Amino acid sequence: MIRVGINGYGTIGRRVADAVLKQQDMELVGVTKTRPDYRASIAADKGIAVYLADQKFAPDFQKSKVQFAGSLDDLLRGVDVIVDATPELGADYKSAYEKAGVKAIFQGGEEHELTGLSFVAQCNYDEARGHSMVRVVSCNTTGLCRVMHALGSSFGISKARVVLARRAADPDEVGKGPIDAVVPDPVTIPSHHGPDVQSVMPELNITTMAIKIPTTHMHLHSVIATLKSRPAPSQVVDALFQEPRVMLVESKSGFRSTASIIDMAREMNRPRNDVYEAVVWRDSVSVQDDEVYFFLAVHQEAIVIPENIDALRAIASDCTKEESMKLTDASLGIASGR
């Protein structure tokens, strides 16, 4: 039984918490919160032990109806692994985790150098063996690694180019813009996404450009890859179909936009309408000479959740990659080869 704590209960933390609760080989010891808000209250109602991210938040909690179980240090004393889901404060917390002697999973907002190992389950699960700390890469990097793994394994990639249209804010982030503009972000090229993919797949030649647009639900990647062989479009579709955690959708089935994909997740009763899969439009897959083109959608809030679960097993159990991914997928309702 892996005893798991989660430091931070925002976009990622609360999803990892629910996913941990679904694993038969894991125990959720507790999560930390900074505010006794509706999220803390709902967590407590679900029976999740809420700890203070810092002792200074105690008065706020004491004034509220939300009970707290102790401090972060108390939480760390009871766990084997802490999942750092702080807003890019992992580097600040690392020494506390080390001091407590717990293993740690960090998120993609941290630098690769923080752990020296950037993790995507299907690409490098086994490399995490023996590490006490790993970094699960960001949502966009995770989505790209999955599809590049499919293309690279089957056809070889001589050059990948991706234009990322990034959702500007999560649905509850009402203070962020833009409302009616496209922001080249960054203006300079390449964006950090290409080098971040290379932190998992060092041999891949990839250049990325990113723009920020007024949507909240998913990132949309336009993928252009020069392959080392010249497959038919159907072979590319097959390779993506065979790849774990990649979902193929078609416009003729009603998938006209990113909104349709989120709506599908709502119809499927996925918790928080989460889409854990990298989603590729099957009818976008096109091949011209040695170049393949397709559209890829990434649910920024959800795609890294299975990776966090697998990373926990990779550093804190003897579970094999295949076993772990199978357990994770079954628990989250991820069907490969859709």
Which one, 21 or 163, has the nearer CB to its own copies?
A: 163
Contact with its own copies (CB under 8 A) among 96, 158, 295, 326: 295
Nearest approach in angstroms of CB 162 to its own copies is: 9
Of positions 87, 178, 333, 337, contacts its own copies by CB under 8 A: 178
The nearer residue to its own copies, 27 or 290, going by C-beta atoms, is 290
Decide if residue 184 touches its own copies (CB under 8 A). yes
Window 205 to 234, contacts with its own copies (CB under 8 A): 207, 209, 211, 213-218, 220, 222, 224
Among the listed residues 45, 95, 175, 188, the single contact to its own copies using CB under 8 A:
188
Residue choice 1, 42, 182, 268 for contact with its own copies (CB under 8 A)? 182
Examine residue 253 and tell whether it contacts its own copies (CB under 8 A): no
Site for its own copies in 146-175 (CB under 8 A): 159, 161, 163, 165
Q: Does 180 sit near its own copies (CB under 8 A)?
A: yes
Task: Tell me which of 41, 64, 153, 284 binds its own copies, using CB under 8 A.
Answer: 284
Query: Residue by residue, what is the 3-state secondary structure of the chain?
Result: CEEEEEECCCCCHHHHHHHHHCCCCEEEEEEEECCCCHHHHHHHHCCCCEEECCHHHHHHHHHCCCCCCCEHHHHHHCCCEEEECCCCCHHHHHHHHHHHCCEEEECCCCCHHHCCCEECHHHHHHHHCCCCEEEECCHHHHHHHHHHHHHHHHHCEEEEEEEEEEECCCCCCCCCCCCCCCEECCCCCCCCHHHHHHCCCCCCCEEEEEEEECCCCCEEEEEEEEECCCCCHHHHHHHHHHCCCEEEECHHHCCCCHHHHHHHHHHCCCHHHCCCCEEEEHHHCEEECCEEEEEEEECCCCCCHHHHHHHHHHHHCCCCHHHHHHHHHHHHCCCCCC
Q: Which of 55, 62, 234, 286 binds its own copies (CB under 8 A)?
A: 286
Task: Tell me the catalytic residues.
Answer: 139
List of residues contacting its own copies (CB under 8 A): 159, 161, 163, 165, 178, 180-184, 187-190, 207, 209, 211, 213-218, 220, 222, 224, 251, 256-260, 281, 283-284, 286, 288, 291, 293-295, 297
